[in-house]
Amino acid sequence: MNINATLLGQTIMFAMFVWFCMKFVWPPIMAALDARKKLIADGLAAAERGKHDLELAAKRSAEVLREAKEKAADIIALGDKRAGEIVEEAKVKAEVEAGNIRTRANSEIEQEVFRAKEQLRTQVSGVALAGAGKILGREIDAKAHNDLLEKLLTEI
Amino acid sequence: MTTEALTSTEYIRHHLQNLTCGLHEGQFHCAHNVEEAKAMGFWALNIDTLGVSLVLGLVFLFFFSRVAKSAAQGVPSGAQNFVEWVIEFVDNSVRGSFSGRNALVAPLALTIFIWIFLMNLMDLIPVDYIPFVAEHMGIGHFKVVPSTDPNATIGMALGVFFLVIFYSIKMKGLGGFIGELTLQPFGKFGLPFNLFLEVVNLIAKPVSLSLRLFGNMYAGEMIFILIALLPFYVQWTLSLPWAIFHILIVTLQAFIFMTLTIVYLDMAHQEHH
């Protein structure tokens, strides 16, 4: 346990180890650590930016959605109004048409009635003529006369 | 125990003896006992201390530089994660204690921390394993914990001491450094007293650094050796708790050496302290 030249050897070895460590160990590892620190910082910044972008996009999408809803509501309202108008128009048209049909029908009925009356009149006159002829043919037979009249009446 | 005839005292002495090799009576050989090692004087080498610390230093640098070479900025692998964790720990310690700007301090602190940690860790190898193997290879002594050899701890503390003096002179100039040693705390009229105080203060730095580490590890090793003297079936009741506690000391001493080095270098960089 005595002091000897080991001391100097140890000092020299120590100096060499420190030199080697300073040259080849410390700088590369510190460089790697710094690079990783930067990498992580960049990554975090990018993540932050991404989050911000996402927020913006969400806001924008909400706005677009709201606009679309408004537009849709407008369109629906417009459609409702248009539908009402169409119904109204149709109603008016229908009423007009109905009036036309009615007047046409009325005039046809009148014509029909007129024609029927005409026919009836001709028939009545024919019947009356025939009756008169028959009466004239058998003047004596009052009873027959009456019968003819009655017959005539029923015919009319 | 290595042989039956060994007494407790001999056993302990044997375990505390380094493998000291040097020139003795004109030829190079390794000492067989403490007296021979002493007789070799200063120009002898503790081969075990140097060898183990060299291997541990190379293990540290090989592992760390391999990770450094492939260090990627992406998701780190397990080894890279561990290395980065250690480096960030050391970097935080340096940032916390060292106010100047010096590219040397952080790698220095890292080297000190890991190297001393590995040296101290050798203390957890059961005390008889290595000497037993060494004996069978014809090597009489082998202390596997370099930090229980004062040569190793003083050697490192001297390295730190040189750096402290170098940066003191570099940052303050030679005049500033001498002024710091002589002109405070009592002004120029108390110069001899100032010089005495400041020199003691300066010398105390490497002495406290080296002897604190050496003392702690030596005491820990000694207790392991004493526990190893007990009958083998009770050894674990003491050696296990001590080993677990020693893990704390191993780390703590490495950390203290590193932190004090940073603090001393910080003081060397500052104008006033």
pLDDT, one tens digit per residue, over B53-81 is 999 999 999 999 998 888 777 778 888 88
Both tokens of B261, joined, read 């080095």
Instruction: Using alpha carbons, list the distances in angstroms from residue A103 to A97, A112, A115, A116.
Output: 10, 14, 18, 20
Residues of chain B found within 8 Å of residue A40, distances taken between Cβ atoms: none
Q: Domain segments of chain B: what residues?
A: 49-269
Angle at B151 between CA B163 and CA B130, to 5 degrees: 130
Distance of CA B184 to the CA centre of its chain: 32
| Helical H segments across B98-190, by residue range | 105-121, 129-136, 150-182
Residue from B18, B97, B216, B239 carrying the catalytic annotation:
B216
- How high is the ipTM of this complex? 0.88
Nearest residue, CB atoms, B44 vs list A4, A30, A33: A4
- Please compute the mean of the pLDDT values over residues B2-27 and round it to a whole number: 75
Q: Do B64 and A21 touch (CB under 8 A)?
A: yes
pLDDT in tens, B205-253: 999 999 999 999 999 999 999 998 888 888 889 989 999 999 999 999 9
Helix H or strand E encompassing A52: helix A26-137
- Please compute the mean of the pLDDT values over residues A49-76 and round it to a whole number: 96
Confidence bin at B1 (pLDDT 50/70/90):
very low
Burial of B141 (0-12, 13-18, 19+ CB in 10 A): buried
Q: For this structure, is B216 an active site residue? A: yes
What is residue A94's three-state secondary structure?
helix
Residue B236: phi and psi, rounded to 5, are -65, -30
Q: Do A21 and B111 touch (CB under 8 A)?
A: yes
Q: Do B87 and A22 touch (CB under 8 A)?
A: no
% of chain A at pLDDT higher than 90: 63
Q: Do B68 and A24 touch (CB under 8 A)?
A: yes
| Helical H segments across chain B, by residue range | 8-15, 34-39, 47-69, 78-97, 105-121, 129-136, 150-182, 191-228, 232-269
Mean of the per-residue pLDDT values of chain B: 87
Whether residue B5 is predicted with pLDDT greater than 60 in this model: the reply is no
More confident position, B111 or B34: B111
Q: For this structure, is B18 an active site residue? A: no
Burial of A35 (0-12, 13-18, 19+ CB in 10 A): middle
Confidence bin at B2 (pLDDT 50/70/90):
very low
Q: Report pLDDT for B144.
A: 87
